[in-house]
Amino acid sequence: MDGEPSSVLARDLAILLLAGVLSLGALWLAGGPRLAPDSFRYLSAAQRINQDLPLMGQQRLAPGYTHPLAWLQRRGLELTAGIQVAAMAQCLLSLAAAGLAYLALAPLWGRRAALLGGLIYLLLPNLQRWNLYILSDGPANSMLVTVMAATLLVPRRSWALALLLAAGAWLGLLRSEGFLFLLPPLIYLAWRRRWPAVGVVAALTAALALGQDMVAAAGSQEMMNHLRRGVVMWGMSSLAPPPGLDSLTAAGPAHFYWLLAVSHPAWLLKLMALRVFWLLFYAYPPHHPLWYSVAAPGLALALYLLAAWGAWRGKRQRGEACLVWGFLAVAVVVAALTWVASDGRFLTRPLCCLAFLAGLGVERLLPGGGAGPAPGKR
């Protein structure tokens, strides 16, 4: 890292590694690698890939996750061993993403702010626990942090663009909405006038959008059914639909949204606002105990306030702060137009990046905070 002694760099990275190992190790000892209801979709898709059978329905989602699982199955690993290897790989990805984010942010925000952000990211159980599930969310979170870090490194490192493209492509193959998270980096690079990078990132975004359309992947009929029922959270809360909603017929979700906006604008706005609220504060009884339902919104609010404080006090870093807030804006738009997961994992993607901005906010509250990097480090 420019201008920093190698001993300081090694020490900070060692601190992050130790914190990550302790955090992920505690989660591993508390229950080990685990399966969720959606895990069986990925495992069955991997099995069908190895049997040269066509994938059905939602099995076609997340090829960036099902094909690595299929590769593990071809290595002869039984189910338990394969799950453990996959979870271990996901944990290593998270550790690597934290280290890369530190390297990208320290010259911009100062090493103390970058270190604090990395610690927040690694020590938050609600972010790291998804690395122990056989779900695409854990590696998708790590890839988004990598996308953020690579974007910030593009103006300073020639290899960063290749990393950005690789991480962005994998993110788009892990999550059907993943290509949308490349829009904030695209805007940031345009703001920094890195036009060659803008061109190739725009081409990747377009290719992912055309190859794995979010609406088609989620199922247009399913989206319209959720709208008709006023679904806020998948399988849980709903908003009572207005009279006459069943009589609306549309060719697709976009047309249906237009009809709703014209005929029932207040109801549609309320539905979207509820989805955004539950996305941002993810307190979902009865899936979680009462203490969690109280603590989780408070923790989320604290992160938002710290991130906002960091963006406000870090005047020289507001372009980078806008990049991070852009990831949250994408998640909000996706949730408002679709639905919210009842386990809170939809929020973890932007929250992983927001944790680093919260680190800047914490640093600005500490004595001596605000010194930032030396001039000319951008």
pLDDT interval class at 203 (50, 70, 90) = very high
Greatest mean pLDDT among 50-59, 85-94, 251-260 lies in 85-94
Q: Is 58 helix (H, G, I), strand (E, B) or coil?
A: helix
Q: Is 189 helix (H, G, I), strand (E, B) or coil?
A: helix
The pLDDT assigned to 373 comes to 62
The pLDDT assigned to 234 comes to 80
The pLDDT assigned to 195 comes to 97
More confident residue, 191 or 217: 191
pLDDT interval class at 294 (50, 70, 90) = confident
Percent of the chain residues topping a pLDDT of 70: 92
The pLDDT assigned to 317 comes to 82
The pLDDT assigned to 375 comes to 44
Checking if the pLDDT of 218 tops 70, the result is: no
Q: Where are the domains of the chain?
A: 6-365
Span 62-91, average pLDDT: 93
pLDDT interval class at 371 (50, 70, 90) = low
Tell me the whole-structure pTM to 2 decimals.
Answer: 0.93
End-to-end, the C-alpha distance of the chain in Å comes to 12
